[in-house]
């Protein structure tokens, strides 16, 4: 496509500066030879500072947010690179992106929002679709791509330019269905603006991100935007959740609302839940039929997640019976309820729980195992400070031993993060150790061989972010160094009784 075809009539491109381009990149680090770089004003800096880097990487043109004007830059790859300035760039960008990637409008997209469970629901959807012989794209925290081949992503919800580029590339490979994680930051920052969703899912809303949203009311308002400010064909809402019930009753939602959960009121309802150490089962009543759902997953929250994934696909016409059969083969999501074992040593569970509600769910999920539980957890720096004592309260109430440690202190003083977490009752017997590897080793050491050590917060992450630097680190690698091996979700033998 030529530059003028994308930006005119909103921005005039003189014919002598018009040119073909490949993709659109809003971040210089993503620029490939032949791309257009968009230099826009951000929350921390201005993309203008990165124009030189973008040109160095092969940008053929730059559209920059600023007073109307034009300048020409030297390039190692082209005779000259035009830089067009306009104060309307931010306002026009969504239209321009949809013009460039117009074919994406034909795809079947599912948006999943909520505090916890987005990665799980999107990945379960992709797995289930795959078992039904329909390849499915996934865009989220664990990466972007066609399941299971995902490329690392910078954000849970990428910038609209990145989302559209990925979706079009999936489409070119014959993939027409994709599940997107939609974060509240993504909604507020218009990262999914203009996309049409055949289903929009709300998993739950509990405390997180108040550093960014200020209050739960604002956080909820951001999530609600997916359902009232976007083009959706069906809403699928968890009504076991307080905010879910509020949303389901919202008359501003201009489409069919389907509900799910254990509630008697839910249109997709699970009941007769039987939890086992090796998985769970429940009876599922839905508009597409009823049947036994057998899941090789741990934790009732995963029953809710799998139910949402099944309903999101059934709403698109997938066969319900086939989905139930496929659900028996679901695999846990990387870094979520991953079990690690070692002879004569406690079971270790690695999970991405980094909110009070997620930590509560994980600890409660392990209660039926009737073992002593040690919790190792930390709280992220440059994130919601007020969730720290709440996480500590959950750990104090639901674990027998607690180790407080670091989890991406980012630009903050780790000691201050500890002080925030400990600023609540019942934390005086917490063990505190900033070095996460050492905290894990000591927690395992002091837990009886028939106990469980839950290592929460980092899940799949392969780094510890300290003062802007991502140092290589992974909970799984620490466990491996300590002689642990991954058990898979289904423990064999009687190591851990039901």
Ligand X SMILES: Nc1ncnc2c1ncn2[C@@H]1O[C@H](COP(=O)(O)OP(=O)(O)OP(=O)(O)O)[C@@H](O)[C@H]1O
Ligand Y SMILES: CC(=O)N[C@H]1[C@@H](OP(=O)(O)OP(=O)(O)OC[C@H]2O[C@@H](n3ccc(=O)[nH]c3=O)[C@H](O)[C@@H]2O)O[C@H](CO)[C@@H](O)[C@@H]1O[C@H](C)C(=O)N[C@@H](C)C(=O)N[C@H](CCC(=O)O)C(=O)O
Q: Give yes or no for residue 184 binding ligand API (CB under 6 A).
A: no
Identified binder of ligand X from the candidate list 141, 155, 166, 408, rule CB under 6 A: 141
Strand pairing report for 143-146 and 136-140: antiparallel
Shortest Cβ 87–ligand X spacing (Å)? 33
Q: Give yes or no for residue 270 binding ligand X (CB under 6 A).
A: no
Whether residue 461 is annotated as binding a ligand: the answer is: yes
- For helices 300-314 and 118-131, what crossing angle results, to 10°? 50
Q: Give yes or no for residue 464 binding ligand X (CB under 6 A).
A: no
Shortest Cβ 380–ligand API spacing (Å)? 2
Q: Is 232 left (phi over 0), alpha (psi -120 to 50) or beta?
A: beta
Stretch of 116-124, 263-271, 372-380, 481-489 lying at the interface with ligand X (CB under 6 A): 116-124
Whether residue 120 is annotated as binding a ligand: the answer is: yes
Q: Give yes or no for residue 357 binding ligand API (CB under 6 A).
A: no
Q: Which partner from the list ligand API, ligand X, ligand Y, none does 166 bind, CB cut-off 5 to 8 Å by kind? A: none
Whether residue 183 is annotated as binding a ligand: the answer is: yes
Whether residue 116 is annotated as binding a ligand: the answer is: yes
Whether residue 457 is annotated as binding a ligand: the answer is: yes
Q: Give yes or no for residue 28 binding ligand Y (CB under 6 A).
A: yes
Query: Could you tell me which residues come within 8 angstroms of residue 492 by beta carbon, excluding any fewer than 6 positions away?
Result: none
Shortest Cβ 201–ligand API spacing (Å)? 18
Shortest Cβ 189–ligand Y spacing (Å)? 6
Q: Give yes or no for residue 82 binding ligand API (CB under 6 A).
A: no
Closer to ligand API by Cβ: residue 436 or 496:
436
Q: Which partner from the list ligand API, ligand X, ligand Y, none does 307 bind, CB cut-off 5 to 8 Å by kind? A: none
Shortest Cβ 259–ligand X spacing (Å)? 15
- What is the pattern of x (binds ligand X, CB under 6 A) and - over residues 336-365? x--------------xxx---xx--xx---
CA 45 to chain CA centroid, nearest Å: 25
Q: Give yes or no for residue 157 binding ligand API (CB under 6 A).
A: no
Q: Give yes or no for residue 186 binding ligand API (CB under 6 A).
A: no
Q: Give yes or no for residue 336 binding ligand API (CB under 6 A).
A: no
Identified binder of ligand X from the candidate list 108, 118, 209, 223, rule CB under 6 A: 118
Size of the site for ligand API (CB under 6 A): 9
Cα–Cα distance for residue pair 250/246, rounded to 1 Å: 6
Q: Give yes or no for residue 58 binding ligand Y (CB under 6 A).
A: no
Cα–Cα distance for residue pair 392/373, rounded to 1 Å: 15
Closer to ligand Y by Cβ: residue 212 or 283:
212
Q: Give yes or no for residue 117 binding ligand X (CB under 6 A).
A: yes
Identified binder of ligand API from the candidate list 203, 259, 405, 408, rule CB under 6 A: 408
Q: Give yes or no for residue 154 binding ligand Y (CB under 6 A).
A: yes
Q: Which partner from the list ligand Y, ligand X, ligand API, none does 357 bind, CB cut-off 5 to 8 Å by kind? A: ligand X
Q: Which partner from the list ligand API, ligand X, ligand Y, none does 457 bind, CB cut-off 5 to 8 Å by kind? A: ligand API
User: Could you tell me the maximum CA-CA distance found in the chain, to the nearest angstrom?
Assistant: 75
Q: Give yes or no for residue 355 binding ligand API (CB under 6 A).
A: no
Footprint of ligand Y (CB under 6 A): 26-29, 40, 42-47, 50, 154-157, 159, 183, 185-186, 189, 191
What residues are designated binding site? Answer: 28, 114-120, 155-157, 183, 189, 191, 383, 407-410, 457, 461
What residues are designated binding site for meso-2,6-diaminopimelate? Answer: 383, 407-410, 457, 461
């Amino acid at each position: 496509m030529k530059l003028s075809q994308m930006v005119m009539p909103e921005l005039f491109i003189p014919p002598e500066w018009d040119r073909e381009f490949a993709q659109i990149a809003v971040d210089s680090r993503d620029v490939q030879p032949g791309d257009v770089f968009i230099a826009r004003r951000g929350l921390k800096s201005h993309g203008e500072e990165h124009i030189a880097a973008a040109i160095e990487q092969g940008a053929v043109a730059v559209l920059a947010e600023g007073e109307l004007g034009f300048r020409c830059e030297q390039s190692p790859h082209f005779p000259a690179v035009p830089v067009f300035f306009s104060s309307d760039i931010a306002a026009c960008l969504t239209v321009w992106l949809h013009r460039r990637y117009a074919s994406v409008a034909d795809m079947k997209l599912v948006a999943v929002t909520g505090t916890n469970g987005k990665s799980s629901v999107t990945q379960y959807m992709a797995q289930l679709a795959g078992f039904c012989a329909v390849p499915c794209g996934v865009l989220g925290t664990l990466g972007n791509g066609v399941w299971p081949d995902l490329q690392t992503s910078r954000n849970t919800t990428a910038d609209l330019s990145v989302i559209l580029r990925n979706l079009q590339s999936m489409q070119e490979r014959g993939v027409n269905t994709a599940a997107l994680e939609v974060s509240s930051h993504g909604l507020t920052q218009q990262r999914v603006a203009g996309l049409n969703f055949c289903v929009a899912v709300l998993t739950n809303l509990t405390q997180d991100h108040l550093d960014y949203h200020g209050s739960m009311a604002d956080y909820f308002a951001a999530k609600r935007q997916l359902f009232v400010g976007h083009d959706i064909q069906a809403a699928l809402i968890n009504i076991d959740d307080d905010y879910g019930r509020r949303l389901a009753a919202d008359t501003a939602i201009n489409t069919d609302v389907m509900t799910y959960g254990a509630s008697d009121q839910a249109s997709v309802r699970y009941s007769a839940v039987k939890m086992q150490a090796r998985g769970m089962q429940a009876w599922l009543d839905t508009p597409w039929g009823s049947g036994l759902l057998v899941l090789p997953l741990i934790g009732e929250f995963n029953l809710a997640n799998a139910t949402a994934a099944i309903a999101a696909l059934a709403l698109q016409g997938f066969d319900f019976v086939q989905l139930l059969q496929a659900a028996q083969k679901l695999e846990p999501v990387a870094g979520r309820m991953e079990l690690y074992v070692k002879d004569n040593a406690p079971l270790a569970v690695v999970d991405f729980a980094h909110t009070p509600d997620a930590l509560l769910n994980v600890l409660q999920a392990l209660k039926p195992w009737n073992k002593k539980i040690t919790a190792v957890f930390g709280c992220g720096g440059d994130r919601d400070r007020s969730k720290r004592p709440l996480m500590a309260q959950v750990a104090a109430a639901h674990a027998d031993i607690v180790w407080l440690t670091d989890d991406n202190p980012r630009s903050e003083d780790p000691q201050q993060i500890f002080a925030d977490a400990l600023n609540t009752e019942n934390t005086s017997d917490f063990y505190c150790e900033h070095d996460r590897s050492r905290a894990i080793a000591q927690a395992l050491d002091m837990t009886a061989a028939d106990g469980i050590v839950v290592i929460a917060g980092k899940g799949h992450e392969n780094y510890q972010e300290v003062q802007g630097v991502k140092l290589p680190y992974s909970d799984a690698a620490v466990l491996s160094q300590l002689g642990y091996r991954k058990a898979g979700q289904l423990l064999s033998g009687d190591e851990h009784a039901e």
